Amino acid sequence: MSYCLSRFQTLRRHTVEVKVGSVGVGGSHPIRVQSMTTSDTQDIDATVKQSIALAEVGCEIVRVTAPNVAAAHCLRDIRRHFTAAGFGHIPLVADIHFLPAAAMEAVEHVEKVRVNPGNYADKKKFAVKEYSDADYERELQRLHETFSPLVRRAAELGRSLRIGTNHGSLSDRIMNRYGDTPLGMVESALEFLRIARSHGFHALILSMKSSNPKVMIEAYRLLVDRMNGEDMHYPLHLGVTEAGDGEDGRIKSSIGIGSLLLDGLGDTIRVSLTEDSVYEIPVARAIADKVMSLWPAAAEPAATELADPVDPFHFARRATTTLELSPRCRVGPEQPPRVIVAVPSLAELPAAMAALASPRLKDTPPEGIMIPVQGPGDLAELCTLLPAQGLPCEFLGLDLAPSVRTELLRPLLAMSPGRILLARTFAADRLEELEEFTVLARETGQFLAVAIDPAEFAAFGPALRQLGDKNLLFTVAATAGRTGAAHAVGSYRQLAAGLAAAGSAAPIWIRNTAASAVKPGPDFLSRLTEASFLTGALLCDGLGDLVSIETEADPTRATRVAYNVLQGAGARISKTEFVACPSCGRTLFDLQTTTQRIRAQTGHLKGVKLAIMGCIVNGPGEMADADFGYVGGAPGKINLYVGKTCVQYNIPEAEADARLIALIREHAKWVDPDPATAPA
Ligand code: SF4
């Protein structure tokens, strides 16, 4: 694989070491966790206070926006006071958009400068223009002249630079030639990279951020692929921009950052949340610690004969057969990934069914409910329970213990009014059991979820070729052995590879269990991060047709997390998609309360994408593909957007919510909220 050493285990990419002040990034250093202040940079006291608060919760690199030369000048005193407070070892980074003069001032005072190649030397005009090769060359020359002074000064002062590309703010030149694509993002960074290298400057870190985890993942992979091709090995700063707040923000960040770290890519990370920045650090820490726990384990890829069928640079959902688990619930490539809830024991089934029948889950119900079956007693109880209770979902799953044999199941299958999904683990040395269960499923018109250890695929392959796809789906057994740097994402990728090799297009069920965790933790954040890693990384690879979050004992919460992860990966949209910037020194209104207020009014608009951005300098570019935008235009004034077009300017903030809703109505995207499903 040209961009990483292994897709089945985590082998860290080799990079050069870049020093940001005294903090080493890349090389043999741990993943560095960073964040950004949100205060007005010219309010020196507030910015120092926020920097100290970040450092005290474990932030290793602090970024501060420098929107103009005056703000950049303030970095001198911010650095001085921050050092005087005992944080001289924590580097500061200036965040620059549009103004080379601000960068030239900032580089004098702080350890690193981030430039956005989309706007460092270009004003955004959205001009439609064909660039001839000669025009393009002239543009590159202009870029060289504009960027070189910063590179030279950074070299003189021992500073580092980040070339920080954002999906939403590519230059017109790049947009015209490459479009709004991961390739465009990569080319944008490479232009700046080549200029820096032409001066012999190598203290470079790169980023490829987007609010869409799929785009971001593809862009970073492509960047590394291209850099490898040119023998360049600079460290990466990972982040999902405008991830929003709460559970959704944490999920999106964990999906994007986690996928890449599991690929072995990434040396410093920032989780962007629309919350006080100190809340970003525990999330970033959890992500980094989980992945770093895999690092010491292996230096070389384990030998495998399986060829990975996924194209890591272009998303395409895996083509599978379609299974009809009920007349209203089919599983397959044209269907959204289905949600299964696992009930821990038969005794808890009645309570779980009552919880799942709640109107709150009316729009996001689990399609399947799965019950563990340990033996004949459980089956007998199910026979009495099921007809009386009915099911609050489309199909029933039976998670069968290895001792449950086919003959025990026939009475229940004969009386079942609906379809049943039989889930069972099969060992490579008991292939006759796999055949028996396959025959049972086919004879009774039911379905079989085959759980196996993909490392044993060689033994299963011939049997699977004979059994074909009908009535079967596959998952990774909880008993699948993983050692060293191997992880569950790799196991599922191996499963997909094994199925491809066996000619099977059976669907894949992603089961989040205690056994699938990279590094289990007792808290909800840890479980949420693990669910985002596994399910999100696989969905962004195009793998996964059913999902269950079995680490959540509460069925309502397990359902909610499953839908939220599906939404975060863009695999199944069940509510409004919010793109909200984390805020910074440019922000013109209270982003956190505004985001919460707008979410409360519009959170039920399934499929609508709303952006809430703190400023017009960056906001309209960053919100890329949102349907509507609420953007700070001036202090106390809001601009409203439809797509990328500003349709209402300078609305008083007090009127902006109502005007936004009116705009959504005008464009026929509004529906009244259902009181039964509204949050309490
Ligand atoms: S969009 Fe938000 S985070 Fe980005 S520059 Fe503007 S205010 Fe700052």
Both 451 and 358 in a single domain?
Answer: yes
User: Per the domain annotation, does 532 fall within a domain?
Assistant: no
Among 37, 210, 275, 581, which residue has the most ligand 1 atoms within 8 Å of its CB, making it the best to mutate? 581
SS3 per-residue string spanning 500-526: HHCCCCCCEEEEECHHHCCCCCCCHHH
**Span from the CA of 229 to the centroid of ligand 1 (angstroms):** 34
In a domain, 91, yes or no: yes
Assess if residue 519 is contained within a domain: no
Kindly state whether residues 149 and 28 are assigned to the same domain.
Answer: yes
pLDDT of residue 469: 82
Query: Of 297, 318, 345, which residue constitutes the final position of a domain?
Result: 297
* 253 and 343 in a common domain: no
Same structural domain, 355 and 488: yes
H or E stretch covering 347: none
Query: In the numeric block, which tokens belong to residue 625?
Result: 């593909």
Exposed, middle or buried: residue 43 (CB in 10 Å: 0-12, 13-18, 19+)?
middle
- Answer yes or no: do 276 and 333 share one domain: no
Cα separation, 404 vs 360, whole angstroms: 36
Residue type, 74: C
Domain end among 458, 489, 508: 508
Nearest residue (CA) to ligand 1, atom 6: 615
164 shares its domain with 86:
yes
Measured between alpha carbons, how far is residue 563 from residues 62, 174, 231, 253, 337 in Å? 33, 35, 41, 16, 10
Tokens of residue 607, six digits:
């499929």
Cβ atoms of 32 and 61 closer than 8 Å:
yes
Q: To test ligand 1's pocket by mutation, which of 241, 589, 615, 638 has the most ligand atoms within 8 angstroms of CB?
A: 615
Q: Are residues 257 and 373 in the same domain?
A: no
Cβ–Cβ under 8 Å, residues 455 and 423: no
Which CATH number goes with the domain that contains 661?
A: 3.30.413.10
Assess if residue 53 is contained within a domain.
yes
Task: Give the C-alpha separation, 65 to 42, whole Å.
Answer: 10
Could you give the C-alpha distances from 191 to 136, 186, 595, in angstroms and in order?
Answer: 11, 9, 36
Q: Does 499 map to a domain? A: yes
List the residue whose alpha carbon is closest to atom 4 of ligand 1: 618
In total, how many domains does the chain have? 3
Residue 537 within any structural domain of the chain: no
Residues 222 and 349 in one domain: no
How are beta strands 395-400 and 368-373 bridged, if at all? parallel
Grouping H, G, I as helix, E, B as strand and the rest as coil, residue 212 is: coil
Q: Are residues 493 and 618 in the same domain?
A: no
Q: Alpha helices, DSSP H only, in 313-396?
A: 349-356, 376-389
**SS3 breakdown of the chain: % helix, strand, coil, rounded to 5?**
40, 20, 40
The residue segments making up the domain with residue 80 are 18-297
> According to the model, what pLDDT value does residue 124 have?
59
Which residue of 63, 613, 616 sits with most ligand 1 atoms within 8 Å of its CB, as the best mutation to test the pocket? 613
Who lines ligand 1 at CB under 6 A? 581-584, 586-587, 613-615, 617-619, 622
| Mean pLDDT in order along the chain per 10 residues (680 residues) | 88 96 97 97 97 98 96 98 98 94 98 93 66 86 95 98 90 86 94 97 96 95 96 97 90 98 97 95 98 81 79 96 92 95 90 84 90 90 72 88 90 78 92 91 91 89 82 92 88 95 94 94 95 98 98 94 97 92 86 92 92 83 84 92 92 95 95 68
Ligand 1, atom 5, lies closest to the CA of 618
The domain spanning residue 408 has which CATH number? 3.20.20
Element (H, E) at 164: strand 160-166
DSSP letter, residue 65: E
What is the model's pLDDT at position 680? 41
| Residue 622 alpha carbon, nearest atom of ligand 1 | 1
The residues, ordered by sequence, that sit 6+ positions from 348 with a Cβ below 8 Å of its Cβ are none
540 found inside a domain: no
Distance of alpha carbon 680 from alpha carbon 669, whole angstroms? 24
Look at ligand 1, atom 3, and give the residue with the nearest C-alpha.
Answer: 583
Cα–Cα distance for residue pair 668/646, rounded to 1 Å: 18
At a CB cut-off of 8 Å and minimum separation 6, what does 534 contact? Answer: 488, 489, 492, 510, 512, 516
Say how many Å lie between the CA of residue 148 and the centre of ligand 1: 26
Q: How far apart are the first and last CA of the chain?
A: 49
* Residues 25 and 145 placed together within one structural domain of the fold: yes
Which pTM value belongs to this model? 0.94
Size (the chain), residues: 680
pLDDT at position 676 is: 63
The Cα 543–Cα 315 span in angstroms is 10
Whether residue 377 sits in one domain with residue 261: no
Q: Which residues of 492-517 are buried (b: 16+ CB within 10 A; e: fewer)?
A: bbbbbbbbbbbebbbbbbbbbbebbb
Same domain (yes/no): 282, 341: no
* Residue matched to tokens 């209770």: 389
Query: Counting atoms of ligand 1 from 1, which one is nearest the CA of 582?
Result: 3
Task: Assign residue 75 the CATH number of its domain.
Answer: 3.20.20.20
Residue 651 within any structural domain of the chain: yes
Domain final position from 281, 297, 313: 297
65: CA distance to ligand 1 center in Å?
9
Neighbours of 634 (CB within 10 A): 12
